[in-house]
Chains A and B, each alone.
Chain A
Amino acid sequence: MSAPLLDIRGLRVSVENKEILSGLSLEVRAGEVHAIMGPNGAGKSTLAQTLAGRDGYEVTGGGVLLDGEDLLGMNPEERACKGLFLGFQYPVEIPGVSNMYLLRSAVNAQRRAAGKEEINAAAFLKQARAEAARLKLKPELLKRGVNEGFSGGEKKRNEILQLAVLKPRLAVLDETDSGLDIDALKVVASGIRALRNGRRAFVLITHYERILNLVSPDRVHVLAGGSIARSGGAELVSELEASGYEPFLREAA
C-alpha cells in the first residue's frame, strides 16, 4: 500500500480558545476522492482553513503530512507550491487585480518555487481562456478584478478554473457546491471529474448529496463532535440522507 498523499493524525485545532477539532485522523491516497460531510459547526471549514494555514486556527495537537512532509510547519504560499489547493467557501473579491493576472502570477510563483521558467504569456492566455470556456465563464470575466461582481455560481466556477490551471496534487474544496443551481453544479462537477487522475486527490467538503451523485467519492467521512465519527464507501451518503446527522452526533458524544 502506497504512503498516503495526505496524512492527518490526531489533529486538534482551537479557534479563539475553543476546541473545534479534537483528534481528527484521515488518510487520503493519490487518485482518491474523499467526501467529508457533517452538520454545521462540526469543524469542516476549520479543517479546510487549518490545512491552508489561515491565522487564527491554532493547532494544539497532532500533525499533518503532505507527501511525507510536515504541512503545518509551512506557510500558506509554501503549501500551495507543494501542491495544495483550497477552494474557498466564500471566495473574496479583489478589485484591481485581474483574474487573468492572478492566474498567471500563481502559476509563475509555483513554477519559480519548482525551479522552472515562467510560463509563456501568450500560450497561457490561450490555455486559460479554453479552461474558462469549459467552465462556462465568459471571457470578459477574466479581465475583471478577482471575483469582482461575480455571482455566487461564477465565484465557485472561478475556484474550479484556478484548480484546472494550477493542477495541484491535493485539492480541498470547501463547500464548493453550496449555493449553486443545478446547471452550475453540473459544470463544477464536470470540472472536478476532468481533473481526476491517478496522481491527484480531492477532499470534497459538503453538506449535500447532490455533488456526490455527480462526482462519486471513493471514501465518505462524517465529521461530528470534532473528529471523524464514521467512514465508509459511497453508500454512506444515502444512509446520511435518510437518517440525517443526528445518529452520528450521538455516536460521537
Chain B
Amino acid sequence: MSGKALDIVVKAGERRAETLRLKHRADAPAADALRIVLEPRGALDLEELHEGQGEFAAHLEVHVELGRGARMRHVAVVDDSGEGRIEIDRQVRLAQEARLRFVRVGSGASLDRESLRAGLMGPRSRFRHGHLMMADTGRRAELDLEIAHHARHAESESLCRYVLGAESHGGFAGRILIPPDGQGADARLRNDNLLLDESARMETRPELEVYADEVQCAHGAATGALDEAALFYLRTRGLPPDRARALLVRAFASSISNNIEMPRAQEMADEMLGRALRELAPQRLAA
C-alpha cells in the first residue's frame, strides 16, 4: 500500500475543475484515499479516471463533504484491462441546499466493488446518481448503496444499470433510508439489468426503509434479456443481428453514459463502452 491520500478543498464561492488520473499497477495502486471538501457555495467538476494494468488490487476510500449551497459534478470511470480488483468505499455528506451529481461507470476489472453511503444532512439537499457496470467472462461487479434522508425536503434519484455477459456476476443492494427527520423526502431508486447470456447471474435487492410521513418514494428493479421484438424489428430493417444487439446494449447503457457532461471522462467512458460492447459475448440468450 502506498499510503497516498489526495486532498481537494474548494474554498467558499470558488469554482474549480479537476481531473484525477489514477493508474493502478500490481505493485503500486495509485492512491488509498481521496478527500474532497467543498466550502459553502463552492463548485467542483471532478473527473476520477481509473486505469489498471495487470493483477492489481486497489482499495480506495473517498470522502466527499459538500457545504451549504455547494455544487459538485463528479464522474468516476474504471476502465481495466482484465485482471485487476478495485474496491471503492465512498461516503458523501450534503449540507443544506448542496447538490451532487455523481456518475460512475466501470468495465473490465475482474472485481469492481463499490459501496456508497450518501447522507442528505441538510434541508433541500439533492443527490443524483447514475451507475453503469459492464461485466463479462467471469467478472464481478457489485454495488452496495445507501441513500439516507436526514433532513427535510431533500431529493435523491439513483439509476443503476448492469450489462452482464457470459459467466459474469452482478450484485446490487440499494437502500433508501428515510428516518423521522426526513420529512418531505423525494427519493427514487431504480436498478435495471441486462443479461446477455444464460450464464450471467444478477442479484438485486432494492429496499426502502421509511420512518417519515409525507414522502414520495419509488424503488424498483427489472432484470431481463434483450427485447426480442426490438431485435426482430431492427433486423427487418436490414441490420445484422450482432449490430442490432450492440445497438440495443448501447441504448440501454446510454441513459447513464450519455449524462457524463465532462469531456475527458466522456471520452474515456465512450472508449470503455466501445470495448465492452466488442467483448461482450451475446451468443447464448435466455430462451
Question: Which of these, B228, B235, B238, B255, contacts A113 with CB under 8 Å?
Answer: B238
Is A166 part of the binding interface, using a Cβ–Cβ cutoff of 8 Å?
Answer: yes
Decide: A109 and B243 in contact? CB cutoff 8 A. yes
Decide: B227 and A92 in contact? CB cutoff 8 A. yes
Decide: B233 and A77 in contact? CB cutoff 8 A. no
B-side contacts of A109, CB under 8 Å: 237-240, 243
Decide: A77 and B238 in contact? CB cutoff 8 A. yes
Is B2 part of the binding interface, using a Cβ–Cβ cutoff of 8 Å?
Answer: no
Decide: B229 and A77 in contact? CB cutoff 8 A. no
Is B63 part of the binding interface, using a Cβ–Cβ cutoff of 8 Å?
Answer: no
Q: Is the interface of B mostly helix, strand, loop or mixed?
A: helix
Is B232 part of the binding interface, using a Cβ–Cβ cutoff of 8 Å?
Answer: yes
Q: Report Cα–Cα, A85/B238, bound state, in Å.
A: 9
How close is B254's CB to chain A, nearest CB, in angstroms? 5
Interface residues of B in 219-274 (CB under 8 A from A): 227-230, 232-241, 243, 247-248, 250-252, 254-255
Cross-chain pair count, CB within 8 angstroms: 71
How close is A49's CB to chain B, nearest CB, in angstroms? 9
How close is A161's CB to chain B, nearest CB, in angstroms? 12
Decide: A54 and B232 in contact? CB cutoff 8 A. yes
Decide: B233 and A94 in contact? CB cutoff 8 A. yes
Chain B interface residue count, CB cutoff 8 Å, equals: 22
A-side contacts of B252, CB under 8 Å: 96
Q: Give the contact-size bracket for chain A.
A: 20 to 34
Q: Report Cα–Cα, A191/B237, bound state, in Å.
A: 18
Q: Report Cα–Cα, A80/B236, bound state, in Å.
A: 6
A-side contacts of B241, CB under 8 Å: 75, 77
Q: Report Cα–Cα, A253/B1, bound state, in Å.
A: 83
Q: Report Cα–Cα, A97/B232, bound state, in Å.
A: 14
Is A179 part of the binding interface, using a Cβ–Cβ cutoff of 8 Å?
Answer: no
Is A162 part of the binding interface, using a Cβ–Cβ cutoff of 8 Å?
Answer: yes
Interface residues of B in 39-83 (CB under 8 A from A): none
B-side contacts of A106, CB under 8 Å: 237-239
B-side contacts of A86, CB under 8 Å: 236
* Residues of B that sit less than 8 Å from A by CB: 227-230, 232-241, 243, 247-248, 250-252, 254-255
User: Other CB < 8 Å A-B pairs besides A52-B232, A86-B236, A97-B247, 11 of them?
Assistant: A76-B232, A77-B235, A80-B238, A94-B230, A96-B252, A102-B234, A105-B247, A106-B239, A110-B238, A145-B251, A146-B233
**14 A-B residue pairings within 8 Å (CB atoms):** A53-B236, A54-B232, A55-B228, A76-B232, A92-B230, A94-B248, A94-B251, A96-B248, A102-B234, A105-B239, A105-B247, A109-B240, A109-B243, A162-B237
